[in-house]
Structure 1
Amino acid sequence: MSLHRPVRRTKGEPVIGLINVVFLMLIFFLIAGTLAPSPGEGIALVDLGDTPLQPPPDALVLTAEGQLLQGGAETDAAGYLATLTEPRVARILPDRQVPASTLVTLAAALTEGGAARVVILGERGVR
């Protein structure tokens, strides 16, 4: 008969892993917060909200009535495609009131006419 008692081993604390995760998240957010520093106190950035919108010269403007304009002159899909250079990227600048079906039809016509890609341009929102 043995008089030695078996040695009881204590289990590791599961809280240590949680502390490590919280610490790593803290470090991450500290670093992420320094990536985009503010311009400084008292500095007001330029506001371009009142400037008139000028479409790119190679964009096809689609009005609310369904009229196609390029450079201020009326055109059609075939005439617009003839002005594009390689790679043939068609840029559409639609009015807000244009029905989606009209826009999809125009994009399909440009693709069938030989446009390699169709890009729809929009206005960037105010932050």
Structure 2
Amino acid sequence: MRRHRQSARREPTIALINVVFLMLVFFMVASTLAQPLDPDLKLVRTSELDGRAPPDTLVLHADGQLAYRGEPVASAQDFYAALPDDEGEVVRIVPDEAAPAATLVNLARALRQEGLRGC
């Protein structure tokens, strides 16, 4: 009696190689579709920043509350009324990361109506 010899099944590696190659081509094409940045452009480096707000800024919290020099402010009009004359007409606004953009735009609009401009 002869022994039946078991043949080793080959793995379908050709299909895997084809898929990997197609992914490589896809990522090469996708990366060339984006416009490159201007080569003369130097991006801002923020690694040396303290990560805290300067003391003379109007802080907009995530819930829409305002604060100036650590004290709560009710509205843009109250901020303008309490602003010393020597502060000038430029105000710095530091919004919280989670603050809604609409709130920030409305605040800037209200400050502009009072005669201040953002910096």
Identity of aligned residues (%): 43
- Please, which runs of 5 or more residues in structure 2 have no aligned partner? 1-46
- After TM superposition, the score normalised by the length of structure 2 is 0.51
Partner in structure 2 of residue 118 of structure 1 = 118
| Post-superposition offset of 1:90 | 1.2
- After TM superposition, the score normalised by the length of structure 1 is 0.48
The alignment yields a C-alpha RMSD, in angstroms, of 2.2
CA distance in 2, matches of 1:86, 1:59: 11
CA offset digits 1:49-90 (Å, max 9, x no partner): 7x5x33222200000000001111101212322315353101
Partner in structure 1 of residue 76 of structure 2 = 77
Q: 2:118 is paired with a residue of what secondary structure?
A: strand
Which has the larger helix fraction?
2
| Post-superposition offset of 1:110 | 0.2
| Post-superposition offset of 1:105 | 0.2
Q: 1:66 is paired with a residue of what secondary structure?
A: coil
Name the aligned partner's letter for residue 70 of structure 1.
Y
- Please, which runs of 5 or more residues in structure 1 have no aligned partner? 1-46, 120-127
Q: How many residues align?
A: 71
Q: 2:107 is paired with a residue of what secondary structure?
A: helix
Name the aligned partner's letter for residue 105 of structure 1.
N
Partner in structure 2 of residue 89 of structure 1 = 90
Name the aligned partner's letter for residue 105 of structure 2.
V
